[in-house]
Amino acid sequence: MLIIPVSDRFWLKNAHIPHCLLENINLLPYTREGLCLVDLEIVAGKITQICPTSSSLDRSGVDVNRGIIFPCFVDIHTHLDKGHIWQRSPNLTGTFDDALNTVKKDAQLYWKASDLYRRMEFGLKCSYAHGTMAIRTHLDSFGQQSQVSFEVFKQLQQEWHDKLILQAVCLVSLDYFLTPDGEDLANRVAEYGGILGGVAYQNPDLDRQLDKIFTLAKERDLDLDFHADETNDPNSICLQKIAEASLGNKFTRKIICGHCCSLAVQSPEQVNQTITLVKEANISIVSLPMCNLYLQDRNPNITPYWRGITKIHEFKKAGVTVAFASDNCRDPFYGFGDHDGLEVLKEAVRIAHLDTPYDSWCANVNQIPADLMGLDKLGRIKIGLDANLIIFKARYFSELFSRPQSDRLILRQGKLIDSSLPDYRELDDLMI
Protein backbone atom coordinates (compact mmCIF):
# COMPACT_ATOMS: atom_id res chain seq x y z
CA MET A 1 0.00 0.00 0.00
CA LEU A 2 1.21 3.50 -0.81
CA ILE A 3 2.29 5.66 2.10
CA ILE A 4 1.49 9.33 1.56
CA PRO A 5 3.97 11.62 3.38
CA VAL A 6 2.62 13.98 6.02
CA SER A 7 5.25 16.58 5.09
CA ASP A 8 4.35 19.87 3.41
CA ARG A 9 6.47 19.05 0.37
CA PHE A 10 6.64 15.80 -1.60
CA TRP A 11 6.34 14.30 -5.07
CA LEU A 12 3.85 11.87 -6.53
CA LYS A 13 6.05 10.14 -9.10
CA ASN A 14 5.48 7.92 -12.10
CA ALA A 15 1.76 8.67 -12.36
CA HIS A 16 -0.57 8.12 -15.32
CA ILE A 17 -2.81 11.18 -15.73
CA PRO A 18 -5.26 11.66 -18.63
CA HIS A 19 -3.90 14.44 -20.84
CA CYS A 20 -7.37 16.03 -21.05
CA LEU A 21 -7.23 16.75 -17.30
CA LEU A 22 -3.82 18.44 -17.34
CA GLU A 23 -4.23 22.18 -17.83
CA ASN A 24 -1.64 24.73 -18.99
CA ILE A 25 1.01 22.06 -19.47
CA ASN A 26 3.32 21.95 -22.46
CA LEU A 27 2.51 19.08 -24.78
CA LEU A 28 3.49 15.79 -23.17
CA PRO A 29 3.70 12.41 -24.86
CA TYR A 30 0.78 10.16 -24.03
CA THR A 31 -0.30 6.58 -24.59
CA ARG A 32 -2.95 5.43 -27.05
CA GLU A 33 -5.38 5.71 -24.11
CA GLY A 34 -4.44 9.37 -23.62
CA LEU A 35 -2.42 8.85 -20.41
CA CYS A 36 0.63 11.01 -19.68
CA LEU A 37 3.41 9.70 -17.43
CA VAL A 38 4.23 12.55 -15.05
CA ASP A 39 5.57 13.54 -11.64
CA LEU A 40 3.60 15.97 -9.47
CA GLU A 41 5.18 18.16 -6.81
CA ILE A 42 2.91 19.11 -3.91
CA VAL A 43 3.86 21.93 -1.57
CA ALA A 44 1.62 23.13 1.28
CA GLY A 45 -1.33 21.32 -0.23
CA LYS A 46 -0.99 22.78 -3.72
CA ILE A 47 0.34 21.42 -7.01
CA THR A 48 3.52 23.35 -7.75
CA GLN A 49 5.14 21.35 -10.56
CA ILE A 50 3.99 18.89 -13.22
CA CYS A 51 6.88 17.30 -15.09
CA PRO A 52 7.52 14.30 -17.31
CA THR A 53 8.54 11.35 -15.17
CA SER A 54 12.30 11.12 -14.74
CA SER A 55 14.36 8.46 -12.99
CA SER A 56 17.51 10.55 -13.19
CA LEU A 57 16.32 13.37 -10.95
CA ASP A 58 16.17 13.20 -7.17
CA ARG A 59 12.50 13.71 -6.41
CA SER A 60 11.75 12.38 -2.95
CA GLY A 61 8.23 11.17 -2.56
CA VAL A 62 5.89 8.37 -3.55
CA ASP A 63 6.22 6.17 -6.64
CA VAL A 64 2.65 5.36 -7.64
CA ASN A 65 3.91 2.81 -10.20
CA ARG A 66 1.95 4.22 -13.15
CA GLY A 67 -1.24 4.33 -11.12
CA ILE A 68 -3.91 6.60 -12.61
CA ILE A 69 -4.58 9.90 -10.88
CA PHE A 70 -7.84 11.82 -11.32
CA PRO A 71 -8.92 15.13 -9.86
CA CYS A 72 -11.78 14.75 -7.39
CA PHE A 73 -15.21 14.03 -8.87
CA VAL A 74 -17.97 16.58 -9.45
CA ASP A 75 -21.50 15.12 -9.40
CA ILE A 76 -23.79 17.57 -11.19
CA HIS A 77 -27.14 15.74 -11.06
CA THR A 78 -28.30 13.94 -7.92
CA HIS A 79 -31.44 13.55 -5.81
CA LEU A 80 -30.16 13.48 -2.26
CA ASP A 81 -33.65 14.06 -0.83
CA LYS A 82 -34.94 10.81 -2.36
CA GLY A 83 -31.84 8.77 -1.55
CA HIS A 84 -31.71 5.52 0.40
CA ILE A 85 -35.45 4.92 0.83
CA TRP A 86 -35.54 1.69 -1.18
CA GLN A 87 -35.79 -0.54 1.87
CA ARG A 88 -38.96 1.13 3.14
CA SER A 89 -40.42 2.12 -0.27
CA PRO A 90 -39.28 -0.28 -3.02
CA ASN A 91 -40.42 0.01 -6.63
CA LEU A 92 -41.40 -3.59 -7.23
CA THR A 93 -42.38 -3.13 -10.88
CA GLY A 94 -39.34 -1.04 -11.78
CA THR A 95 -41.44 1.31 -13.92
CA PHE A 96 -41.14 5.09 -14.11
CA ASP A 97 -44.77 5.68 -13.15
CA ASP A 98 -44.49 3.48 -10.06
CA ALA A 99 -41.27 5.26 -9.12
CA LEU A 100 -43.13 8.60 -9.19
CA ASN A 101 -46.04 7.28 -7.13
CA THR A 102 -43.86 5.44 -4.63
CA VAL A 103 -41.70 8.50 -3.95
CA LYS A 104 -44.79 10.69 -3.59
CA LYS A 105 -46.22 8.36 -0.94
CA ASP A 106 -42.88 8.14 0.86
CA ALA A 107 -42.62 11.93 0.95
CA GLN A 108 -46.11 12.29 2.39
CA LEU A 109 -45.34 9.81 5.15
CA TYR A 110 -41.74 10.53 6.10
CA TRP A 111 -40.12 13.66 4.64
CA LYS A 112 -39.74 15.69 7.78
CA ALA A 113 -36.53 17.61 8.40
CA SER A 114 -34.94 14.91 10.57
CA ASP A 115 -35.55 12.15 7.99
CA LEU A 116 -34.25 14.28 5.11
CA TYR A 117 -31.20 15.41 7.06
CA ARG A 118 -30.02 11.91 7.93
CA ARG A 119 -30.54 10.41 4.48
CA MET A 120 -29.02 13.38 2.67
CA GLU A 121 -26.05 13.41 5.04
CA PHE A 122 -25.58 9.68 4.44
CA GLY A 123 -25.36 10.42 0.71
CA LEU A 124 -22.78 13.12 1.37
CA LYS A 125 -20.70 10.72 3.45
CA CYS A 126 -20.68 8.20 0.59
CA SER A 127 -19.80 10.85 -1.99
CA TYR A 128 -16.96 12.26 0.11
CA ALA A 129 -15.51 8.80 0.82
CA HIS A 130 -15.47 7.96 -2.91
CA GLY A 131 -13.66 11.18 -3.80
CA THR A 132 -16.37 13.65 -4.77
CA MET A 133 -15.81 17.32 -4.07
CA ALA A 134 -18.94 19.07 -5.38
CA ILE A 135 -22.57 17.98 -5.72
CA ARG A 136 -25.66 19.50 -7.28
CA THR A 137 -28.90 18.04 -5.96
CA HIS A 138 -32.45 18.46 -7.19
CA LEU A 139 -34.97 18.96 -4.37
CA ASP A 140 -38.66 18.10 -4.73
CA SER A 141 -40.31 21.46 -4.09
CA PHE A 142 -44.10 21.28 -4.26
CA GLY A 143 -45.94 23.22 -1.57
CA GLN A 144 -44.45 23.36 1.93
CA GLN A 145 -41.89 20.68 1.08
CA SER A 146 -39.66 23.28 -0.55
CA GLN A 147 -39.24 25.20 2.70
CA VAL A 148 -38.38 22.04 4.65
CA SER A 149 -36.01 20.64 2.04
CA PHE A 150 -34.17 23.88 1.33
CA GLU A 151 -33.66 24.50 5.05
CA VAL A 152 -32.15 21.02 5.48
CA PHE A 153 -30.01 21.63 2.41
CA LYS A 154 -28.79 24.94 3.80
CA GLN A 155 -27.85 23.31 7.10
CA LEU A 156 -25.88 20.57 5.36
CA GLN A 157 -24.28 23.08 3.01
CA GLN A 158 -22.95 25.01 6.00
CA GLU A 159 -21.85 21.95 7.97
CA TRP A 160 -20.03 20.37 5.02
CA HIS A 161 -18.58 23.56 3.50
CA ASP A 162 -14.98 22.50 4.16
CA LYS A 163 -15.50 19.08 2.53
CA LEU A 164 -18.10 19.43 -0.22
CA ILE A 165 -19.46 22.27 -2.33
CA LEU A 166 -23.24 21.88 -2.55
CA GLN A 167 -25.72 23.39 -5.01
CA ALA A 168 -29.50 22.98 -5.02
CA VAL A 169 -32.07 22.97 -7.84
CA CYS A 170 -35.82 23.10 -7.21
CA LEU A 171 -37.82 20.31 -8.84
CA VAL A 172 -41.47 20.65 -9.81
CA SER A 173 -43.44 20.12 -13.00
CA LEU A 174 -43.33 23.25 -15.15
CA ASP A 175 -47.05 23.99 -14.81
CA TYR A 176 -46.34 24.86 -11.17
CA PHE A 177 -44.58 28.06 -12.27
CA LEU A 178 -47.83 29.38 -13.74
CA THR A 179 -49.24 29.63 -10.22
CA PRO A 180 -48.52 32.11 -7.41
CA ASP A 181 -46.85 29.25 -5.50
CA GLY A 182 -44.48 28.84 -8.43
CA GLU A 183 -43.43 32.47 -8.26
CA ASP A 184 -42.89 32.11 -4.50
CA LEU A 185 -40.71 29.09 -5.20
CA ALA A 186 -38.60 31.08 -7.67
CA ASN A 187 -38.10 33.71 -4.97
CA ARG A 188 -37.05 31.03 -2.49
CA VAL A 189 -34.54 29.58 -4.95
CA ALA A 190 -33.04 33.03 -5.43
CA GLU A 191 -32.93 33.58 -1.67
CA TYR A 192 -31.00 30.33 -1.17
CA GLY A 193 -28.64 30.98 -4.08
CA GLY A 194 -29.96 27.98 -6.00
CA ILE A 195 -30.79 27.05 -9.58
CA LEU A 196 -34.28 27.20 -11.04
CA GLY A 197 -35.38 23.83 -12.33
CA GLY A 198 -38.28 21.66 -13.25
CA VAL A 199 -39.54 18.65 -15.19
CA ALA A 200 -40.67 19.32 -18.75
CA TYR A 201 -43.51 17.07 -19.89
CA GLN A 202 -45.01 17.10 -23.37
CA ASN A 203 -48.36 18.91 -23.06
CA PRO A 204 -50.40 21.52 -24.98
CA ASP A 205 -49.34 24.31 -22.59
CA LEU A 206 -45.60 23.58 -22.66
CA ASP A 207 -44.61 26.70 -24.60
CA ARG A 208 -46.34 28.96 -22.08
CA GLN A 209 -44.81 27.06 -19.16
CA LEU A 210 -41.33 27.44 -20.64
CA ASP A 211 -41.76 31.15 -21.34
CA LYS A 212 -42.78 31.60 -17.70
CA ILE A 213 -39.79 29.79 -16.18
CA PHE A 214 -37.41 31.63 -18.50
CA THR A 215 -38.98 34.93 -17.45
CA LEU A 216 -38.69 34.04 -13.76
CA ALA A 217 -35.05 33.04 -14.23
CA LYS A 218 -34.18 36.23 -16.13
CA GLU A 219 -35.86 38.44 -13.54
CA ARG A 220 -33.89 36.77 -10.73
CA ASP A 221 -30.64 36.20 -12.64
CA LEU A 222 -30.79 32.41 -12.17
CA ASP A 223 -29.39 29.50 -14.16
CA LEU A 224 -31.79 26.81 -15.36
CA ASP A 225 -31.60 23.03 -14.97
CA PHE A 226 -34.31 20.87 -16.55
CA HIS A 227 -35.37 17.24 -16.55
CA ALA A 228 -36.39 16.63 -20.15
CA ASP A 229 -37.77 13.72 -22.17
CA GLU A 230 -37.14 10.99 -19.60
CA THR A 231 -39.27 8.63 -21.67
CA ASN A 232 -39.19 6.30 -24.64
CA ASP A 233 -42.01 8.20 -26.35
CA PRO A 234 -40.67 9.43 -29.72
CA ASN A 235 -43.28 12.20 -29.70
CA SER A 236 -41.73 13.81 -26.63
CA ILE A 237 -39.74 16.80 -27.93
CA CYS A 238 -39.29 18.84 -24.74
CA LEU A 239 -35.58 19.32 -25.36
CA GLN A 240 -36.33 20.94 -28.71
CA LYS A 241 -38.97 23.14 -27.08
CA ILE A 242 -36.53 24.22 -24.33
CA ALA A 243 -33.96 25.20 -26.95
CA GLU A 244 -36.56 27.16 -28.92
CA ALA A 245 -37.71 28.91 -25.73
CA SER A 246 -34.15 29.82 -24.82
CA LEU A 247 -33.53 31.37 -28.21
CA GLY A 248 -36.89 33.12 -28.22
CA ASN A 249 -36.30 34.57 -24.75
CA LYS A 250 -32.68 35.51 -25.58
CA PHE A 251 -31.54 33.71 -22.43
CA THR A 252 -27.83 34.16 -21.70
CA ARG A 253 -27.26 32.27 -18.46
CA LYS A 254 -26.43 28.56 -18.22
CA ILE A 255 -28.98 25.93 -19.17
CA ILE A 256 -28.59 22.24 -18.44
CA CYS A 257 -30.96 19.51 -19.61
CA GLY A 258 -30.78 16.08 -18.01
CA HIS A 259 -31.86 12.69 -19.41
CA CYS A 260 -33.10 13.58 -22.95
CA CYS A 261 -33.85 9.88 -23.49
CA SER A 262 -36.54 10.12 -26.18
CA LEU A 263 -34.02 11.62 -28.60
CA ALA A 264 -32.52 8.15 -29.00
CA VAL A 265 -35.78 6.71 -30.38
CA GLN A 266 -36.59 9.53 -32.80
CA SER A 267 -35.92 9.82 -36.52
CA PRO A 268 -32.51 11.00 -37.74
CA GLU A 269 -34.15 14.17 -39.06
CA GLN A 270 -35.68 14.98 -35.66
CA VAL A 271 -32.41 14.21 -33.89
CA ASN A 272 -30.38 16.49 -36.17
CA GLN A 273 -32.91 19.30 -35.86
CA THR A 274 -32.91 19.11 -32.06
CA ILE A 275 -29.14 18.86 -31.69
CA THR A 276 -28.69 21.86 -34.00
CA LEU A 277 -31.07 23.92 -31.83
CA VAL A 278 -29.40 22.73 -28.61
CA LYS A 279 -26.02 23.81 -29.94
CA GLU A 280 -27.36 27.20 -31.05
CA ALA A 281 -28.99 27.77 -27.64
CA ASN A 282 -25.75 26.79 -25.85
CA ILE A 283 -27.53 24.14 -23.77
CA SER A 284 -25.43 21.51 -22.00
CA ILE A 285 -26.58 17.92 -21.58
CA VAL A 286 -26.25 15.67 -18.54
CA SER A 287 -26.62 11.96 -19.20
CA LEU A 288 -27.59 9.69 -16.31
CA PRO A 289 -26.57 6.31 -17.71
CA MET A 290 -27.31 4.07 -14.72
CA CYS A 291 -30.79 5.37 -13.88
CA ASN A 292 -31.86 5.53 -17.50
CA LEU A 293 -30.63 1.98 -18.14
CA TYR A 294 -32.69 0.91 -15.11
CA LEU A 295 -36.00 2.60 -15.97
CA GLN A 296 -36.22 2.95 -19.73
CA ASP A 297 -37.61 0.21 -21.99
CA ARG A 298 -38.79 -1.77 -18.96
CA ASN A 299 -41.74 -4.09 -19.53
CA PRO A 300 -42.75 -7.15 -17.47
CA ASN A 301 -41.14 -10.39 -18.64
CA ILE A 302 -39.70 -8.76 -21.77
CA THR A 303 -35.97 -8.42 -22.35
CA PRO A 304 -35.09 -4.73 -22.86
CA TYR A 305 -33.81 -3.72 -26.26
CA TRP A 306 -32.73 -0.11 -25.69
CA ARG A 307 -30.11 1.05 -23.18
CA GLY A 308 -32.06 4.15 -22.22
CA ILE A 309 -29.37 6.76 -22.81
CA THR A 310 -29.46 9.82 -25.03
CA LYS A 311 -27.40 10.53 -28.17
CA ILE A 312 -24.11 11.05 -26.34
CA HIS A 313 -21.76 10.59 -29.30
CA GLU A 314 -23.88 12.75 -31.58
CA PHE A 315 -24.01 15.60 -29.07
CA LYS A 316 -20.25 15.56 -28.62
CA LYS A 317 -19.63 15.43 -32.36
CA ALA A 318 -21.84 18.52 -32.76
CA GLY A 319 -19.88 20.40 -30.11
CA VAL A 320 -22.54 20.20 -27.39
CA THR A 321 -21.13 19.87 -23.88
CA VAL A 322 -22.03 16.55 -22.22
CA ALA A 323 -21.49 15.47 -18.62
CA PHE A 324 -22.33 12.30 -16.70
CA ALA A 325 -23.78 12.11 -13.19
CA SER A 326 -25.08 9.57 -10.70
CA ASP A 327 -28.74 10.69 -10.46
CA ASN A 328 -30.83 8.65 -8.01
CA CYS A 329 -29.34 6.33 -5.43
CA ARG A 330 -31.11 3.42 -3.74
CA ASP A 331 -34.59 4.80 -4.26
CA PRO A 332 -37.58 3.87 -6.46
CA PHE A 333 -35.99 5.48 -9.54
CA TYR A 334 -32.79 3.46 -9.20
CA GLY A 335 -32.44 0.63 -6.71
CA PHE A 336 -28.65 0.67 -6.62
CA GLY A 337 -25.74 3.12 -6.59
CA ASP A 338 -23.34 4.52 -4.02
CA HIS A 339 -22.65 8.13 -5.09
CA ASP A 340 -19.39 7.04 -6.73
CA GLY A 341 -18.09 9.07 -9.68
CA LEU A 342 -15.94 6.17 -10.84
CA GLU A 343 -18.96 3.89 -11.07
CA VAL A 344 -20.76 6.57 -13.11
CA LEU A 345 -17.85 6.83 -15.55
CA LYS A 346 -17.35 3.07 -15.73
CA GLU A 347 -21.00 2.39 -16.50
CA ALA A 348 -21.16 5.24 -19.03
CA VAL A 349 -18.17 3.73 -20.85
CA ARG A 350 -19.81 0.31 -20.93
CA ILE A 351 -23.34 1.41 -21.77
CA ALA A 352 -22.47 4.04 -24.38
CA HIS A 353 -19.36 2.40 -25.90
CA LEU A 354 -16.98 5.18 -24.92
CA ASP A 355 -13.85 3.05 -25.29
CA THR A 356 -11.74 2.52 -28.41
CA PRO A 357 -10.74 5.28 -28.06
CA TYR A 358 -11.40 6.59 -24.55
CA ASP A 359 -10.67 10.07 -25.89
CA SER A 360 -11.47 12.68 -23.22
CA TRP A 361 -14.57 11.03 -21.74
CA CYS A 362 -13.03 10.86 -18.25
CA ALA A 363 -13.38 14.68 -18.06
CA ASN A 364 -17.17 14.22 -18.08
CA VAL A 365 -17.24 13.39 -14.36
CA ASN A 366 -14.86 16.09 -13.11
CA GLN A 367 -13.65 19.00 -15.27
CA ILE A 368 -16.75 19.40 -17.46
CA PRO A 369 -19.35 19.31 -14.67
CA ALA A 370 -17.11 21.58 -12.58
CA ASP A 371 -17.19 24.17 -15.36
CA LEU A 372 -20.97 23.83 -15.71
CA MET A 373 -21.31 24.47 -11.97
CA GLY A 374 -19.06 27.52 -12.16
CA LEU A 375 -16.24 25.82 -10.24
CA ASP A 376 -13.20 26.49 -12.41
CA LYS A 377 -10.73 25.48 -9.69
CA LEU A 378 -12.12 21.95 -9.41
CA GLY A 379 -12.09 18.91 -11.65
CA ARG A 380 -8.66 19.43 -13.20
CA ILE A 381 -4.97 18.99 -12.40
CA LYS A 382 -3.15 22.27 -12.75
CA ILE A 383 -0.18 24.08 -11.26
CA GLY A 384 -1.36 26.43 -8.53
CA LEU A 385 -4.52 24.51 -7.65
CA ASP A 386 -5.13 22.51 -4.50
CA ALA A 387 -3.97 18.89 -4.66
CA ASN A 388 -7.47 17.38 -4.52
CA LEU A 389 -6.67 14.05 -6.12
CA ILE A 390 -7.78 10.43 -6.37
CA ILE A 391 -4.95 7.91 -6.71
CA PHE A 392 -5.89 4.55 -8.20
CA LYS A 393 -3.73 1.45 -8.15
CA ALA A 394 -4.96 0.69 -11.68
CA ARG A 395 -2.42 1.69 -14.35
CA TYR A 396 -4.61 1.61 -17.45
CA PHE A 397 -8.30 2.13 -18.18
CA SER A 398 -8.87 -1.58 -18.68
CA GLU A 399 -7.65 -2.11 -15.12
CA LEU A 400 -9.51 0.93 -13.79
CA PHE A 401 -12.88 -0.23 -15.12
CA SER A 402 -12.47 -3.91 -14.23
CA ARG A 403 -12.39 -3.66 -10.43
CA PRO A 404 -14.24 -1.49 -7.87
CA GLN A 405 -10.99 0.37 -6.94
CA SER A 406 -11.97 0.20 -3.28
CA ASP A 407 -8.33 0.74 -2.39
CA ARG A 408 -8.18 4.21 -3.99
CA LEU A 409 -6.45 6.95 -2.01
CA ILE A 410 -8.00 10.40 -1.78
CA LEU A 411 -6.00 13.55 -1.12
CA ARG A 412 -7.61 16.82 -0.12
CA GLN A 413 -5.17 19.71 -0.20
CA GLY A 414 -2.39 17.15 -0.35
CA LYS A 415 -3.51 15.31 2.79
CA LEU A 416 -4.84 11.76 2.89
CA ILE A 417 -8.44 11.62 4.10
CA ASP A 418 -10.35 8.83 5.79
CA SER A 419 -12.27 7.22 2.93
CA SER A 420 -14.28 4.77 5.04
CA LEU A 421 -17.84 4.41 3.78
CA PRO A 422 -20.76 4.88 6.19
CA ASP A 423 -22.56 1.77 7.43
CA TYR A 424 -26.10 1.24 6.09
CA ARG A 425 -27.11 0.38 9.66
CA GLU A 426 -26.96 4.10 10.40
CA LEU A 427 -30.33 4.36 8.62
CA ASP A 428 -32.01 1.27 10.04
CA ASP A 429 -34.42 3.12 12.33
CA LEU A 430 -35.68 5.18 9.35
CA MET A 431 -36.57 2.08 7.30
CA ILE A 432 -39.79 1.32 9.13
Give the integer Cα–Cα distance in Å for 398 and 376.
29
What confidence tier does 27 reach under pLDDT thresholds 50, 70, 90?
low
CA 392 to chain CA centroid, Å, is 20
| 386 and 291 co-located in one domain | no
- Which residues belong to the active site? 230
Residues 191-231: tens digit of each pLDDT: 999 999 999 999 999 999 999 999 999 999 999 999 999 99
| 146 and 193 co-located in one domain | yes
| 391 and 270 co-located in one domain | no
Residues 281-323: tens digit of each pLDDT: 999 999 999 999 999 999 889 999 999 999 999 999 999 999 9
* Structural domains counted in the chain: 2
208 in a domain, yes or no?
yes
Lay out the sheet containing 132-140: strands in order across.
73-78, 132-140, 165-171
Strand duo 224-228 + 255-259: pairing: parallel
| 229 and 107 co-located in one domain | yes
What confidence tier does 432 reach under pLDDT thresholds 50, 70, 90?
confident
Predicted model pTM: 0.96
Over range 278-282, report the average pLDDT: 98
| 348 and 395 co-located in one domain | no
Residues 69-97: tens digit of each pLDDT: 999 999 999 999 999 999 999 999 999 99
Angle of helix 238-248 relative to helix 206-220, nearest 10 degrees, comes to 50
Please give the pLDDT value at position 408. 97
| pLDDT greater than 80 at residue 24 | no
- Find all residues with CB under 8 Å of 428, minimum gap 6, and list them: none
The CATH number of residue 272's host domain is: 3.20.20.140
Of the residues 372, 387, 408, the one at which a domain ends: 372
Strand duo 409-412 + 389-391: pairing: antiparallel
Over range 141-169, report the average pLDDT: 98
The CATH number of residue 49's host domain is: 2.30.40.10
| 319 and 181 co-located in one domain | yes
Give the integer Cα–Cα distance in Å for 225 and 153.
18
86 in a domain, yes or no?
yes
| 343 and 207 co-located in one domain | yes
| 63 and 197 co-located in one domain | no
Please give the pLDDT value at position 57. 67
428 in a domain, yes or no?
no
Lay out the sheet containing 9-18: strands in order across.
46-52, 35-43, 9-18, 61-63
Give the integer Cα–Cα distance in Å for 432 and 428.
8
| 164 and 129 co-located in one domain | yes
- Find all residues with CB under 8 Å of 185, minimum gap 6, and list them: 141, 146, 170, 172, 176, 177
Nearest residue to 184 (alpha-carbon basis) of 155, 157, 146, 214: 146
Question: What's the mean per-residue pLDDT of the chain?
Answer: 95
| pLDDT greater than 90 at residue 359 | no
Give the integer Cα–Cα distance in Å for 207 and 34.
44
| 223 and 281 co-located in one domain | yes
Strand partners, 228: 200, 259
| 259 and 161 co-located in one domain | yes
| pLDDT greater than 90 at residue 56 | no
| pLDDT greater than 90 at residue 249 | yes
Over range 390-397, report the average pLDDT: 97
424 in a domain, yes or no?
no
The HSE-up count of residue 184 (CA atoms within 13 Å, CB side) is 10
Strand partners, 63: 13
| 64 and 87 co-located in one domain | no
Give the integer Cα–Cα distance in Å for 19 and 31.
9
CB 324 within 8 A of CB 344: yes
181 in a domain, yes or no?
yes
Domain range enclosing 84: 79-372
Q: How far apart are the first and last CA of the chain?
A: 41
CB 60 within 8 A of CB 11: yes
Please give the pLDDT value at position 416. 96
CB 15 within 8 A of CB 411: no
Cis status, amide bond into 357, omega within 30 of 0: yes
Over range 29-36, report the average pLDDT: 86
Please give the pLDDT value at position 60. 77
Please give the pLDDT value at position 55. 65
Please give the pLDDT value at position 357. 85
432 in a domain, yes or no?
no
CB 328 within 8 A of CB 83: yes
316 in a domain, yes or no?
yes
